[in-house]
Amino acid sequence: MDSIKSFKGYGKVNEIEEQAFKRKTRRRLIILIVSIVVLLAVVIGAVAGILIHKRSISSPNTVPPTELTPAASLKAVCSVTQYPTSCFSSISSIASSNTTDPELLFKLSLRVAIDELSRLSQYPNKLKAETNDTQVRSALEVCGSMFEDALDRLNDSATSLEVGEGEKLLSDSKIDDLKTWLSTTITDQETCLDALEELNATKQFNATLLEEVKAAMQNASEYASNSLAIVAKILGLLTDFNIPIHRRLLGFQKAGSEFPAWVSPTERRLLQDSKPTPNVIVAKDNSGDVFTINDAVKLVGKKNESRFVIYVKEGEYVENVILDKNKWNVMIYGDGKTKTIISGSLNFIDGTPTFATATFAVAGKGFIAKDIGFVNSAGAAKHQAVAMRSGSDRSVFYRCAFDAYQDTLYAHSNRQFYRECDILGTIDFIFGNAVVVFQNCNIQPRQPLPNQFNTITAQGKKDPNQNTGISIQKCSLTAFGNLTATTFLGRPWKEFSTTVIMQSNIGVFLDPAGWKEWVANVDPPSTIFYAEYQNSGPGSSVDKRVKWAGYRPTLSDVDAVKFTVGTFIQGQDWLPDATVSYEPAL
The catalytic residue positions are 428
* Secondary structure of residue 414 in the 3-state scheme: coil
Q: Which of 105, 94, 143 is nearest to 122 (CA)?
A: 143
Q: Which residues contact 324 (CB under 8 A, 6 or more apart)?
A: 363, 364
Q: Which of 179, 202, 218 is nearest to 90 (CA)?
A: 218
Dist. CA 335–CA 252, nearest whole Å: 32
* DSSP classification of residue 200: G
- With beta carbons less than 8 A apart as the criterion, state whether 392 and 367 touch: yes
Dist. CA 15–CA 32, nearest whole Å: 25
Dist. CA 514–CA 512, nearest whole Å: 5
Cβ-based burial of 255 (10 A; exposed 0-12, middle 13-18, buried ≥19):
exposed
Q: What value, to the nearest 5°, has the Cα angle with vertex 147 and ends 142 and 148?
A: 100
Q: Distance from first CA to last CA of the chain, Å, rounded?
A: 31
How far is residue 538 from each of residues 478, 488, 509, 511, measured CA to CA in Å?
A: 11, 14, 9, 11
- With beta carbons less than 8 A apart as the criterion, state whether 434 and 390 touch: yes
Dist. CA 563–CA 503, nearest whole Å: 12
Q: What value, to the nearest 5°, has the Cα angle with vertex 214 and ends 209 and 215?
A: 100
Q: What value, to the nearest 5°, has the Cα angle with vertex 460 and ends 439 and 382?
A: 90
The phi and psi torsions of 144 (rounded to 5 degrees) equal -60, -45
- Total length of the chain: 586
